[in-house]
Amino acid sequence: MSESLQSYQEVGYGARKVGFGKKPAIIVVDFQRAFLDEKFALGQSPRIRKAAVETVELLELARIKEIPIIHTVVGFRDLWDMGRWKMDIQWIAENSEAAELSPILKAPSNEPVIIKKAPSAFFNTDVLRFLTLQSCDTVIVTGCVTSGCIRATVIDAFSYGFRTIIPEECVGDYTEEQHRANLFDVNNRYADVLTKAEVMDYLSTILSK
């Protein structure tokens, strides 16, 4: 056991599992062309690309099981719409190629795509309404980046009372250090970080409608 993990456990972090509920949904955070196509400045990470490829199998099973899937993409109308991001991302305009879902996901047209402006998929979007209307109690979070929008989405999902699950192969970041550090932290506080295989085993038990 690492010194960090032991220190957390000694004061009570990670004392219990979140566990799965009865009605899951999958949130796919920002697997859009801006973060996956090499033609864009942010699309250079093989780690993020690998996470997207890993997510495809999870989504294919979810579609067979008729489990709700919702996608988010970042997109801005103008500089005023961007807020106070400390990043050069004003070029990710709404309705631009950069804001399109990556074709890697093979997403059908009936899966909702929500435009967001802030890190969390929940902030000023219809994601919470979508999950509520679907009577979901479990949120499986995939996408990018682990240290930013994934972390923010996980914290909000936890705060709204959802059982929150992260399949570790299905989220990615620009550095392994930040990826691991943030998964370690949310796993000890807000969510269960599991293998993709464990999540797929759970999805396999869900009865189709």
**Range of weakest confidence among 8-12, 51-55, 106-110:** 8-12
Residue 7 located in a structural domain: no
pLDDT of residue 45: 97
Residue 141 pLDDT grade (very low, low, confident, very high; cuts 50, 70, 90) = very high
pLDDT of residue 79: 86
Residue 10 located in a structural domain: no
Q: How many separate domains does the chain show?
A: 1
Residue 190 pLDDT grade (very low, low, confident, very high; cuts 50, 70, 90) = very high
Find the domain containing 188 and state its range: 21-204
pLDDT of residue 5: 62
pLDDT of residue 16: 84
Residue 1 located in a structural domain: no
pLDDT of residue 25: 98
CB atoms closer than 10 angstroms to residue 203: 19
Specify whether the CB–CB gap between 140 and 65 falls below 8 A.
no
In DSSP terms, which residues pair with 73 in a beta bridge?
115
Can you give the CATH number for the domain in which 34 is found? 3.40.50.850
In DSSP terms, which residues pair with 25 in a beta bridge?
139
Residue 54 located in a structural domain: yes
Residue 12 located in a structural domain: no
Q: Over range 94-110, report the average pLDDT.
A: 96
pLDDT of residue 159: 98
Residue 4 pLDDT grade (very low, low, confident, very high; cuts 50, 70, 90) = low
Residue 164 located in a structural domain: yes
Angle between helices 196-204 and 46-64 (to 10 degrees): 10
Say which amino acid occupies 46.
Answer: P
Ramachandran bin of 39, using left for φ above 0, alpha for ψ from -120 to 50, beta for the remaining angles? alpha
Pair of tokens at residue 24:
């899951």
Residue 209 located in a structural domain: no
47/12: higher pLDDT: 47
pLDDT of residue 207: 80
Residue 14 located in a structural domain: no
Single pTM value for the model:
0.94
Each residue of 65-100: pLDDT tens digit? Answer: 999 999 999 999 998 899 899 998 999 999 999 999
- Positions marked active-site: 149
* pLDDT over threshold 90, residue 2: no
pLDDT of residue 1: 46
